[in-house]
Amino acid sequence: MATIGDVAREAGVSRSTASYALSGKRPISEEVRLRVLAAAEALAYTPNAGARALATSQTKVLGLLAQFHEDEFAPAMMQYILGVTDTARDLGYDTLLVTEADGARALRRITDSRMVDGVVLMNIAQEDSRLPILRAAPQPGALVGLPGDCSGLDVFDLDFEEAGRGMVDHLHRLGHRELILVSQPEHVVERGGAYVWRLRDAALERARQLGVTLHAVYGASRQPAVGRLLNALLDAHPSATGLLINNEAAAAALPSVTYERGLRVPEDLSVIGRYSAEFAATFSLPYSFIESAPDRLGAMAVRQLVRRVESAAARSEPFVVRFISPELVSRGSTAPPKAPPVR
């Protein structure tokens, strides 16, 4: 494999001249520049990444820490990952994907060893053991997901509070007065998945303000448990006219449940979900939903991260916490309730 020394020799110049000719960081005569370029081309020269990293302290690699929990919906993760890898590549970076269970140790490994120029963290927990390590690391970091303490980091997330309020508002405007909210399973919450209660608490608060009854429950993550749960809920609250779903598995299971019960959507039951457009397409879900835009979030995180990586000025800017406003994608699964709410 050719080194820059080989290129220099082939072009009849010194190593430093070859380097400058290739990088353009100093003026080099047109004639020499072309000779060096030709030599590099002829020898199929590619700089050695390790050597360059050593000399420049830049690896052009970003770390991506993702965690996979058995009980969470793995396919959804793919969208986030693609948002990150594709955007990173556009900006000239490769992506080191780390899925180790012990995220804190993995983070320490890749930052201390200088394998990466920056890190994106996903599956953020309320109290996330990786955050102190990331704050202390020499590389900048960005989070996809909102932790309890955002200090010292750039944070990107869907505005789950607004999503919760939006769902309730929407159905209230149509005349609904009794709703059910199915959240993620309880262990997601126990693990620190704050987005679950952020949406739920905001929805409950808004419902209270509007005088709407809202039954908020934890869901399950798998069939057949989640199907049974949905049936039990509809049995338990026969007068509820609207269903809010912040749980992928429940959304995927709902069509068969309504079908079996002979419920028509939206005539008998209005439904709003919260998931990604990709997810909706994959499962061909017929419900209006609040788009969680995983690819956009991943892309935003990477762009901000790269800004900080590449500019000392950007590195000293104040940290941002940026929420994507929820957008309701209408699929016609909501309508005024059949029986006017006289209660």
Partner DNA sequence: CATAACTGTCGAACCGGTTCGACGATAACG
Partner DNA sequence: CGTTATCGTCGAACCGGTTCGACAGTTATG
Under the rule (CB under 8 A), what is the footprint of a copy of itself? 1, 44, 46-54, 59, 61, 64, 68, 73-75, 77-79, 81-82, 85-86, 89, 94-100, 108-110, 112-115, 138, 222-224, 227, 252-253, 255-256, 259, 278, 281-284
Shorter beta-carbon distance to a copy of itself: residue 93 or 156: 93
Closest contact distance (angstroms) between CB of 94 and a copy of itself is 6
Closest contact distance (angstroms) between CB of 15 and DNA is 5
Are 288 and 332 within 8 A, CB to CB?
yes
Shorter beta-carbon distance to a copy of itself: residue 66 or 194: 66
Count of residues near DNA by CB under 7 A: 33
Are 232 and 248 within 8 A, CB to CB?
no
Are 70 and 43 within 8 A, CB to CB?
no
The helix (run of H) or strand (run of E) holding residue 178 is strand 178-183
Are 63 and 116 within 8 A, CB to CB?
yes
Shorter beta-carbon distance to a copy of itself: residue 59 or 304: 59
31 binds, among a copy of itself, DNA, none (CB under 5 to 8 A by kind): DNA
Q: Is the dihedral of CA 138, 129, 93, 318 positive or negative?
A: negative
Contact with DNA (CB under 7 A): which of 9, 10, 24, 31? Answer: 31
Residue 15 in the binding site for DNA (CB under 7 A): yes
Are 319 and 151 within 8 A, CB to CB?
yes
Percent helix, strand and coil across the chain, each rounded to 5? 45, 15, 35
The structure tokens listed for 284 are 């061909």
Binding mask 44-83 for DNA (x = CB under 7 A): -xxxx--xx-xxxx--------------------------
78 binds, among a copy of itself, DNA, none (CB under 5 to 8 A by kind): a copy of itself
Closest contact distance (angstroms) between CB of 54 and DNA is 4
Closest contact distance (angstroms) between CB of 95 and a copy of itself is 5
What's the order of all strands across the beta sheet hosting 242-245?
213-218, 178-183, 242-245, 270-275, 288-291, 327-329
**Which whole-number Å values give the CA distances from 248 to 128, 130, 241, 254, 264, in the listed order?**
23, 26, 20, 10, 20
Site residues (CB under 7 A) for DNA?
Answer: 1-5, 12-17, 19-20, 22-23, 25-29, 31-33, 45-48, 51-52, 54-57
